[in-house]
Amino acid sequence: MNSIKLIFKTANSDQGDYISGLLSSLVIEGSEQTDGELYVYIQESNYNESDIKALLQDHPFDFCTEVLPMQNWNALWESNFEPIRIHQTVGVRAHFHPPFTDCQYDILITPKMSFGTGHHETTQMMLTYLCETDCSNKSVFDFGCGTGVLAIFAKLKGSAETIGIDNDSWSVENAIENCIQNHCTEIKISDATLHDFHQPFDIILANINLNVLLETLPRLNDMLKSDGDLFLSGILISDINTISERFTSLGFELNAQKKLQTWSALHIKKRNM
C-alpha cells in the first residue's frame, strides 16, 4: 500500500512538534523532522485531505504532498535510522549497526513502517521510565505497541506475561518480527482490542496520542492492578492539564513526570482507597 508524505515548512523543531500535536488524532505512520521541514507519513487508505485541513484551519501551516510507494517508505526508514541509547542501560539499533557492547541491554529493531524506533522523544521517555522500573515477574501490557520496543525491553528486564496490541497490521507484523530477533518469543502481539482482556496487569504502557488516551483511560484503569503502574506518553506539554483532569477524575494520582522538548511522559498510579 502506498503512503502519503505531508511536507510542512517549519521554523524549528518546536514548531514541527506543535504540528505533530495538532495532527495527533490522525492515524499517522511516522514523522521526521529535518532542518526547515517536517515530514508526516500516512497510509494512503487513511489519508483524507479535508480532515487535515480542518485540524489546521486555525493555524497558518500549509503543506504539500508526495506519494511514496511502500518500498520507498522502508528505504527511507533505513536511510535515516541511527542507533540510540538511554544512559548505559539500553541501546536500540538496527541490524546494520554494530551491537551495543557497553549497554546492559541491546535491542535490535528492524526499521519498517511502525512507530517506536526509540528516536522520538515520547519513546525515549518511555524507555527511560522502564530503565527505572522493576519489571521482574510483572505482567506488562503495551497499548499501541508499534515496533514492540517497549514490550521487548520489559521482557528483557524480566517481565512475566507480556502483551502488546496495535490496530495497524504492519505494526503487528513488525513487532512480531522484532520479538523473534530479540529472542522474546513469549511476548504475545496481536491486533486485539482493550476489551479482549479481562485480567489485571502490573504495568501498562501507552505511548499513543492524547485523544486516544482520553478515550481509553477508563478502560486502562479497569485493566490496571490496584498497586500497578501506568506510564503514558504521546502528550504535548501544553496538554498536561487536560490529561491530568481526566486521570484525576478516575482516581489516579501523578507519581512522576518527564519532559523532553515539547513532549511529556507521565507515571500515574491509582490512589489508595
What is the C-alpha separation between 126 and 184, in angstroms, rounded?
A: 19
Give pLDDT tens digits for 138-155. 999 999 998 899 999 999
Number of folded domains that form the chain: 2
In a domain, 84, yes or no: no
Helix (H) or strand (E) holding 124: helix 121-131
Cα angle: 123, vertex 124, 125; to 5 degrees: 90
State which residues form the domain around 39: 3-77
Three-state DSSP at 30 gives strand
What is the C-alpha separation between 39 and 28, in angstroms, rounded?
A: 11
Provide DSSP, 134-162.
--TT--EEEET-TTSHHHHHHHHTT-SSE
In a domain, 114, yes or no: no
CATH at 147: 3.40.50.150
Q: Are residues 125 and 233 in the same domain?
A: yes
What is the C-alpha separation between 18 and 262, in angstroms, rounded?
A: 8
Give mean pLDDT, residues 104-127: 80
The mean-pLDDT minimum among 65-79, 114-128, 151-165, 230-244 falls in 65-79
pTM here is: 0.76
